Amino acid sequence: MLDGRSLDVTPVAAMQRPETPAHSMQGKSILLLSRYGEQAASSRLRTLQYLPYLRQAGIDVEVASFFDDRYLDHLYRSGSRRVTDVFRAYAHRFARLLSARRHAVVWVEKEVFPFLSGSFEALLRLARAPWVVDYDDAIFHTYDLHPSAVVRFALGRKLTPLLGGAAAVIAGNSYLESHLRPLGARQLYRIPTVVDVSRYPAAPKAVPRDELRIGWIGSPATSHYLRELKGALGEASRRRRLRLVTIGAGPLDDLGVPIEQHPWSADTEAALLATIDVGIMPLPDGPWENGKCGYKLIQYMAVGRPVIASPVGVNRDIVTPAVGRLASSDEEWARAVVELADDVSLRQMLGETARVRVLDEYSLQSTAPKILQILTQAAGSRLSVENRT
């Protein structure tokens, strides 16, 4: 059996310098219109973690986040948004669009202006630069499934100008892809959310212990999904000793098991994940949840741990019997937990296979060249036009 701990993983910053693309971007740069800064997982993983590789390729990337970390700090602490922070975000985004024409490509995360009409998305044309749009969740459901009929009518198709004019659209899974195409996306690429495996050394070999440590990683905004497991965890805890280990969750209700909570930090997340025995991702089967990209599962698998997940959206693609278990009902969840609690060798086998799968399919090392190619081809579409005029 292949031992995932022995696999050599090259850090992205140390990867071999990519060859110069056919359409050279020398002397050009990319403007990245990210949604958030480093503190938000979606922006950090979908765009920002690619910057070292792109810069290694000789491409300058200028980052202009819509919401800054100060906005997120206040949101996570208070659960509310300050009007001044929101106003400043819109003003900064308008200002950055005015300077966008000096860039070879504009790389947009999700949308240009949240909750403004498609005519504002179309302002990106003023940059006279091709753009690439990336989606890792079902942002379109913010509008087309909004409780207000007025919002649904006014903004239900607000993304059409953005998608229709894009040189490329990147979707994190098939559900997103199927919804983006009718909104105007033409050149679609599917690239999953991935990890830099060099930051996730394989955890120590699975060993017998008195209690099974069940891990969950996320943010205060998503920790409510753990309530889905109250019955299942309570049932499983009557059969075996369990402990729920959370990383980044907000305050939790009683879930029927002892809970060990840790704040999230980029510096500590991998070490904390190495202390768990199995990782979980419970989800209800809703439209927003179908748009998620399964990043929690990929993190658990990266450190060599088996997973249990709800069979929702991309989870069905990530979780095969070789890396973990899918569970729908409380009984299925409890049965999966007990099975992995009782069989240490099974946990080790599933975890090793999971890590190899991440290296092959869900690693930054495997997807960074694809992102570079998409951005370079987009820049080439502008350079080709410039050469003809």
Q: Is 13's pLDDT higher than 60? A: no
The pLDDT-based confidence of 2 (bands split at 50, 70, 90) is very low
Average the pLDDT over 129-150 and give the result: 94
pLDDT of residue 39: 78
Q: Residue 69 has what pLDDT?
A: 74
Give pLDDT, residue 18: 54
In what helix (H) or strand (E) does residue 93 lie, and over which residues does it extend? helix 83-98
- Dihedral angle, C-alpha 189, 303, 259, 42, nearest 10 °: -20
Write the single-letter amino acid at 152: R
Q: How confident is the model at residue 26 (pLDDT cuts 50, 70, 90)?
A: low
Q: What percent of the chain has pLDDT over 70?
A: 89
Angle (CA) 192-308-197 rounded to 5° is: 40
Q: Which of 312, 36, 293 is nearest to 176 (CA)?
A: 293
Virtual torsion, Cα 186, 183, 296, 311, nearest 10 deg:
-110
Q: Which of 193, 190, 165, 162 is nearest to 178 (CA)?
A: 190
Determine the pLDDT at residue 252: 87
What is the CATH code for 197-361?
3.40.50.2000
How far apart are the C-alpha atoms of 57 and 15, rounded to whole Å? 10
pLDDT reported for residue 340: 96
Q: What is the pLDDT of residue 71?
A: 73
pLDDT at residue 389 in the model? 34
pLDDT at 8 over 50: no
CA 80 – CA 41 distance, rounded (Å): 19
- pLDDT, position 28: 72
In sequence order, which residues have a C-beta less than 8 Å from that of residue 201 and are 6 or more positions away?
5, 270, 274, 303
- Measured CA to CA, the distance from residue 213 to residue 290 in angstroms comes to 27
Whole-angstrom distance, CA of residue 334 vs CA of residue 233: 7
Per-residue confidence (pLDDT) for residue 31, from 0 to 100:
95
Residue 215 has pLDDT above 70, yes or no: yes
Estimate the share of the chain in helix, then strand, then coil, as percent rounded to the nearest 5. 45, 15, 40
Q: Given a cut of 70, is residue 165 above it in pLDDT?
A: yes
> What pLDDT is stored for residue 23 in this prediction?
47
* Per-residue pLDDT tens over the stretch 226-266: 999 999 999 999 999 999 999 999 888 888 899 999 999 88
Higher pLDDT pick, 333 / 37: 333
Average pLDDT over residues 329-353: 95
**pLDDT of amino acid 168:** 96
Q: How far apart are CA 13 and CA 51, in angstroms?
A: 9
pLDDT of 24 strictly over 90:
no
| Cβ partners under 8 Å of residue 237, min gap 6 | 256, 257
Residue 102: the pLDDT is 86
Backbone angles phi, psi at 62, to 5 degrees: -100, 120
Predicted local distance difference test score (pLDDT) of residue 204:
85
Q: Give pLDDT, residue 17.
A: 52
Q: In this structure, is the dihedral angle defined by the CA atoms of residues 20, 24, 29 and 32, taken in order, positive or negative?
A: negative
% of the chain at pLDDT higher than 90: 69
Query: Are the folds of 4-194+364-388 and 197-361 the same?
Result: yes
CATH class of 4-194+364-388: alpha beta
Asked whether 299 and 217 are in contact (CB, 8 A), the reply is yes
Domain spans in the chain, listed from the N-terminal domain onward: 4-194+364-388, 197-361
Tokens found for residue 271: 């070490």
Question: Could you tell me how far CA 39 lies from the centroid of its own chain?
Answer: 13
215: β partners: 245, 279
Distance CA 70, CA 337 (A): 39
Can you tell me the distance from the alpha carbon of 15 to that of 147, in angstroms, rounded to the nearest whole number? 47
Q: What is the mean pLDDT of the chain?
A: 88
Give the pLDDT of residue 287: 93
Alpha carbons 69 and 73: distance in angstroms, whole number: 6
pLDDT at 81 over 80: no
Lowest-pLDDT range, 9-13, 96-100, 180-184, 379-383? 9-13
Residue 123 in this model has a pLDDT that exceeds 50: yes
Q: Please check the confidence at residue 72 and state whether its pLDDT lies above 80.
A: no
Give Cβ neighbours of residue 57 (< 8 Å, ≥ 6 apart). Answer: 17, 18, 372
What is the predicted pLDDT for the residue at 181?
A: 94
Q: Is the pLDDT of residue 27 over 90?
A: no
Identify the pLDDT of residue 7.
44
State the pLDDT at residue 388.
33
Res 20: pLDDT:
46
pLDDT at 282 over 70: yes
Q: What is the three-class DSSP state of 133?
A: strand
